[in-house]
Structure 1
Amino acid sequence: MAQRALTGRTQAPKAGRTAVSGCLALASMSMAGASAAQFRRRGTTVEPFHPERASALVITGVNSVSRNPMYVGMAGVLVAHALWRTSWVALIPVAGFVVLIDRAQIAAEETALGQRFGSEYEAYCASTPRWLDRRSLARAVDMLVPSWRPTTA
């Protein structure tokens, strides 16, 4: 709603923009959904306001690409919507979301998870980015195409 309020009415987007923004939204929702499904399979909470209730540290699948794939997915949907609206101004709420989640929610979650899982969580933090970085792309490709890397003899 903030994006629409900032940009007002927009013209109908061109087919290419709709396709790109749709693909980004689908990929983002898939990332968030896959993470939530992993949490449920492991029997741990997806409730963000009670990270102390976590019963398992989920570090595989999309959680090896980012420590916060559900938030990355939410931000990706907002970016897709800004792209679809064809507006740089529509990125302002994305930036606000990322800053708020990063500083308030994720910081609290990391404190709780560090207390709960100790050195295992510290090792996970050292090997997996909070959001996304160059390691994320390589891990995502590894998940999608496991044999893409050339073998060494």
Structure 2
Amino acid sequence: MPVVPPPVFALAAGIAQHLLAPDRPAGGARKLASAGIAVAALGLDASAVAAFRRHHTTVNPLDPARASSMVTGGAYRLTRNPMYVGMAGLLTAHAVRRGGWLTPLPAAAFVVLVDRLQIPAEEAAMEANFGEAYARYRARVSRWLPVRA
């Protein structure tokens, strides 16, 4: 199980974006676009955390075995990981706001790290806790973004 919580990865990615960004102010279009992306990402994160609270289950990514119930409604109908999608969205908003060709790279690194290090451990814990019900949910809902087959 990873020992670094994904929000720490996201914070590190945001700092890296700041360091990689050109030193010029954002124009109106970039400000507007980044604000829209950020609002959507924050809304997704907030709704996902609220759903966990309503179901009285843990939001602690370092101990997914403590999950007491499966959350499959709301944002969880569209993606199995709305909190991570929201964090990636915030990093995308920051990259748009800061500008430059290199600022998206830390956001991409965040997605890869979470996808390869964090999510597999969480999915194994969910499979152990909820068995076939989680396997059906996993088959029905995409890990990251909704896709039609």
TM-score, normalised to structure 2, is 0.87
Residue 134 (structure 1) shift: 2.8
Counterparts of 2:126 and 2:147 in 1: how far apart (Å)?
A: 24
Partner of 1:113: 126
Gaps of 5+ in 2: 1-14
Equivalent in the alignment of 2:78? 65
- Report the Cα offset of residue 5 of structure 1: 1.1
Q: Does 1:33 align with 2:46?
A: yes
Number of the residue aligned with 1:24: 37
Pairing 1:6–2:38 present: no
1:96 pairs with one of 109, 124, 132: 109
Q: What whole-Å deviation, never above 9, does each CA across 1:92-135 have from its counterpart, x for those lacking one?
A: 11111011100110010000000100010001111100000335
Larger of the two Rg values belongs to structure: 1
Q: CA deviation at 1:4?
A: 1.1
CA drift at 1:85:
1.1
Q: What is the Cα-based RMSD across aligned positions, in Å?
A: 1.0
Please give the TM-score of this superposition, normalised by the length of structure 1.
0.85
CA–CA distance in structure 2, aligned partners of residues 132 and 47 of structure 1: 22
In the TM superposition, structure 1's runs of 4+ consecutive aligned residues that sit over 3 Å from their partners are: none
Match of 1:89, SS state, is: coil
SS at 1:134 equivalent: coil
Shift of 1:7: 2.0
For residues 13-68 of structure 1, what are the alpha-carbon distances to aligned partners after superposition, in whole Å with 9 as ceiling and x for unaligned?
A: 11121111101011001101100000001100000000000000000000111000
CA distance, structure 1, for counterparts of residue 93 and residue 101 of structure 2: 12
Give, in angstroms, the shift of residue 8 of structure 1.
4.5
Counterparts of 2:19 and 2:96, CA distance in 1: 15
**Higher RCO (Cα < 8 Å, 6 or more apart):** 2
Identity %: 45
How far did residue 91 of structure 1 move? 0.8
Unmatched 5+ stretches in structure 1: 136-153
What residue number does 1:140 align with? Answer: none
Aligned: 1:81 with 2:69? no
